[in-house]
Structure formats: structure tokens, C-alpha cells
A and B are shown apart, each in its own frame.
Chain A
């Protein structure tokens, strides 16, 4: 006798152990395609910066493949350029990539029913766009095969990222130093910073962190970056509290 049918909690059980859904993956690729235009120059600059900082072509390409975090990579290439110690490099990576913890916490309820290997795989690809597009999609279409939509977004961006890094690595060795292409790094960060300053607390964060980073530039091993960032975060939290009271 068959056991009585128990309806699974909505959107949970159907996720685990499911066959690959090609249509969901393609939907992810389609949704993310406009973002590829933004990822491409980022990957290009990352490739150029890696070889400019003294990495070999293979090292540069492997870094993009296994780290897949452009902002952190650019910051670390700058640190490698000044021969910062490993602990500072790791601390910088943690600081710049700390937002992924937030994404991870936010995405977790949507993927709870998936197997541990699947969740590990998604974790490896949890980049900004994959997180944002997936969570928005899952809210609108709870029934879409989530694993495959997510992978459609993330893996296609990874491929674009790798092609761009490849081209950047090749270009990096051809570009004369007088062009100062390394200046493209602060330019990329500027393009990321401007939309991040979307309200008054974030403006306070940017002003305090940016100002202190210059003031604390004398600190050894780029520690000024971390001190300035922590002070900026504290100032932002304070500004938020004061703003809430006013």
C-alpha cells in the first residue's frame, strides 16, 4: 500500500534531485545578457592589471577562474605590486568580499531543500549579478527550477569573464607603460562607487573611508585601507542612527 500523499512545502521538494532544466538555464542566460556588456571591460581590465602587477599569464587566468571576484582581484593586484604580506592580502579579500556573506544569508532560504553538493556549487558561483537576478526571479516565479536558472546566469557570466580576462592578459603584455593603464583600476572602482552612494549614510561612509584612507596612507602594508574602511562603516552606522532620530 502506498503511503498517504503529503503535499511538499511550496517550492522546496521539487528542487532537490531534479533533472537539469534547459529552459530555466536559458532563461537565466537571456536575462543576464545585457549585463555581459558590463562584465566584459571589467574582465579585460582585470586581465591587464594582473600581468601589469607581475603575474604570469597562467597565474592571471587561474586567478580569474577560481576567485571570480573582480573588485577583490584588482585590489590584490595592487597589493602584490607593493609586495604586501599575505595576511593583508587575505584581510583585504575578506573586506571587499564581505558582501557575499549577506548574499549567502539572503539566498539560503530559497535553496534550503537542495543537496549539500548543489548548495556548494551555487556558493562557488555566488557573484553579485547571480544573486540579484536569481532572488528577484524566484520571488516573481517561485516555480522556476532555481538551480538551473541560477547556473544559467552565473556560468554564462563566468564564461564572458574568462574570455575577457584572456584578452586582457594578452593585451597587458603589449601595452606600453606610458599609457598608465593601471589608472583604469581606480576608474572601475569609481564606476562602482557612484551608484553605491545612494543615500546619506552611504555618502558619510564614502567620505570618511575615502578621506581616512588618504590620511592613513602612511600605515604599513596597506593597513590604512582596512582602518579607513572600518571607520567608514562605523560612521555610516552612526549617521543612520542619527538620521533615524531626526
Chain B
């Protein structure tokens, strides 16, 4: 991606994000949106986040997708999920997840 393309991406992201945030704040009157649409909107964050997490953990189709790389990722993701559930803390989830990833890799290298 060229520098100009990166700047285009940044400008597009900023514009789109602002448009979404300001949308209803800039409308003069409250517009009635269908109830079913509003309810469906509530599932958007969960859906998008889940759709990002699983392929990122499994890493299919990349050099990192080989089996000996997959095991540490899966173990680290499982442990991180547990930490996220127990602590609700982004910080602890990152720290414990990364330490688990490195730990399992080290163990596998040690055993193998």
C-alpha cells in the first residue's frame, strides 16, 4: 500500500466514523427507526468482534498457520478467554494471553 493510499484510508476512516457518531445528533427531529432494526443493531458489536477473533487466532493460510504454531495460539486464546471472563480486564487478558503464548512455545520447543 502506497503512502497516498494509507492517507486515503485514514481520511475515509475518520469521515465514516464521524458520520456514524454524529448521525442522529445532527438531525433536527427525532426520526422513528423501526424497532426491529434498532434491536438488530445491538448485535453488531458481538458479531463483528467474534468474526475478527476466530480467524485471527487460527491464522489459516499464512506461514503462522502451521500446526506447531496453532497449538500455542489456541492454548493462549483459551486461557485469555478465561481471564477475560474472570477479570473483565483488557490489560490482564493481554498480559496473561501473551505470557501463555510464549510459555507454550517455549515448552514445545523444549519438548520437541
B1 interface residue per 8 A CB criterion: yes
Complex contacts, A56 vs chain B, CB 8 Å = 3
Pair A201/B56 contact, Cβ less than 8 Å = no
Grouping DSSP codes into helix (H, G, I), strand (E, B) and loop, the A interface class, with mixed when no group exceeds half, is helix
Cα(A125)–Cα(B14), bound, Å = 12
Give B1-12 as 1s and 0s: 1 = Cβ < 8 Å from A's Cβ atoms. 101011111101
Nearest B residue (CB) for A182 = B56
Q: Take A89-B9, A99-B41, A213-B54 as given contacts and tell me if A108 and B24 are in contact as well, using a CB distance cutoff of 8 Å.
A: yes
B21: contacting residue among A59, A83, A104, A206, CB under 8 A: A104
Q: Interface residues of B, CB < 8 Å — how many?
A: 66
B22: contacting residue among A124, A188, A236, CB under 8 A: A124
Pair B21/A123 contact, Cβ less than 8 Å = yes
A31 interface residue per 8 A CB criterion: no
Pair A105/B26 contact, Cβ less than 8 Å = no
Grouping DSSP codes into helix (H, G, I), strand (E, B) and loop, the B interface class, with mixed when no group exceeds half, is helix
A33 interface residue per 8 A CB criterion: no
B108 interface residue per 8 A CB criterion: no
Cα(A55)–Cα(B89), bound, Å = 28
Nearest A residue (CB) for B16 = A93
- Report A113-132 residues with CB < 8 Å from chain B CB: 116, 119-120, 122-126
Give A166-208 as 1s and 0s: 1 = Cβ < 8 Å from B's Cβ atoms. 0000000000000111011111111111111100011001111
Complex contacts, A228 vs chain B, CB 8 Å = 47, 50-51
For residue A104, give the distance in angstroms from its CB to the closest CB of chain B: 4
Complex contacts, A105 vs chain B, CB 8 Å = 23-24, 33, 38
For residue A96, give the distance in angstroms from its CB to the closest CB of chain B: 5
- Report B15-63 residues with CB < 8 Å from chain A CB: 16-18, 20-27, 30, 33, 36, 38-58, 60-61
Binding site for B on A (CB under 8 A): 37-38, 40-42, 45, 54-56, 59, 62-63, 66-69, 71-73, 75-76, 78, 80, 83, 86, 89-90, 93-105, 107-109, 111, 116, 119-120, 122-126, 179-181, 183-197, 201-202, 205-214, 217, 224-225, 228-230, 232-234, 236-237, 240
Q: What are 25 A-B interface contacts by the 8 Å CB criterion?
A: A59-B3, A66-B14, A80-B1, A86-B8, A86-B12, A93-B17, A98-B41, A101-B23, A104-B20, A108-B27, A109-B30, A120-B25, A124-B18, A126-B21, A183-B76, A184-B98, A187-B76, A187-B80, A193-B50, A205-B46, A207-B50, A213-B55, A217-B55, A232-B50, A234-B40
Knowing that A59-B3, A86-B5, A183-B76 touch, tell me 14 more A-B residue pairs with CB under 8 angstroms. A40-B91, A89-B13, A98-B44, A100-B23, A101-B41, A108-B27, A124-B21, A186-B52, A186-B77, A193-B50, A194-B85, A195-B88, A213-B51, A237-B36
